[in-house]
Amino acid sequence: MNKRHPIVRVEALTKTYTTAAGSFDVLRGVNLELRAGEMVAIMGPSGCGKSSLMHILGLLAPASTGRYTIMERDMFGLSEDQQAAFRREYLGFILQSCNLFEHSSVSENLEYPLIYSRVPAAKRRGIIEEALGRVGLTHRIDYPANRLSGGEQQRVAIARALVNHPKVLLGDEPTGQLDKSTSEMVMAYFKHIVQEHDTTMLIVTHDPQVARKCTRAYTMQDGLLVQLAKES
């Protein structure tokens, strides 16, 4: 696919929540295009709708209206099982901390996406080692996940998101629970992965430092994305 061609295209996306108190619009017509090798940040205060956008883009929640394509394929036309299949083949999620299966080992954590992708058991160990190698944690392969440091846990989560070689990486506050130095290290990993594998990454964050390291940054205002000027 042409590198200039958008991998992800979102057009006039809306999301309306209906509660007992009434209905309110969180997304009012979001437009967004993400290209291969791009790392894009979305900022905004809590409750502005950035996580809702992330969940819609991750095919975990439906939109109210709009159009969403990945590699020119209509995502809203897929059934629930087709969306799950698409998620395991093309999407990778990195969430805040506490997103590892804490009673499992590092390799077991990385094995789940491979199991869901029906990768034969004999091939998994090699793939896991390769993914851990990318985040420098091969030596922790059989280590219990709950004994890793916060930074190591997040690197394992990154390795898990990368293990199926996704085209699109979605990070929901991926550095939210990390200290400054670990956060910088993790961001450096993201940058390296995106550039090396032509992956597209969307990061939802509160942290301007994180946004500054991205190709582009947006802020969510009144349910719409507004692009922030790149600081020199």
- Site of interaction with another protein (CB under 8 A): 55, 58, 60-61, 80-81, 84-85, 87-89, 91, 93, 95, 98-99, 101, 103, 112-113, 115-118, 121, 160
Do 184 and 155 meet the contact criterion of CB atoms below 8 Å apart? no
Identity of the residue, 105 or 138, whose beta carbon is nearer to another protein in the bound complex: 105
Shortest reach from residue 160's CB to another protein, in Å: 8
- Listed in order, strand segments (DSSP E) in the chain are 6-19, 22-35, 39-43, 65-70, 73-74, 91-94, 168-172, 200-204, 216-221, 224-227
Shortest reach from residue 52's CB to another protein, in Å: 9
Shortest reach from residue 17's CB to another protein, in Å: 12
Q: How far apart are CA 197 and CA 163, in angstroms?
A: 12
Identity of the residue, 55 or 206, whose beta carbon is nearer to another protein in the bound complex: 55
Q: Is 91 helix (H, G, I), strand (E, B) or coil?
A: strand
Identity of the residue, 35 or 200, whose beta carbon is nearer to another protein in the bound complex: 200
Shortest reach from residue 56's CB to another protein, in Å: 10
Q: How far apart are CA 202 and CA 27, in angstroms?
A: 17
For 99, the token pair is 């997103």
Identity of the residue, 93 or 218, whose beta carbon is nearer to another protein in the bound complex: 93
Do 35 and 7 meet the contact criterion of CB atoms below 8 Å apart? yes
Q: How far apart are CA 9 and CA 131, in angstroms?
A: 28
Shortest reach from residue 221's CB to another protein, in Å: 23
Identity of the residue, 85 or 228, whose beta carbon is nearer to another protein in the bound complex: 85
Shortest reach from residue 55's CB to another protein, in Å: 5
Q: Is 99 helix (H, G, I), strand (E, B) or coil?
A: coil
Identity of the residue, 93 or 213, whose beta carbon is nearer to another protein in the bound complex: 93
Fill in the amino acid letter for 92: G
- List Cβ neighbours of 192 (8 Å cut-off, separation of 6 or more): none
Q: Is 198 helix (H, G, I), strand (E, B) or coil?
A: coil
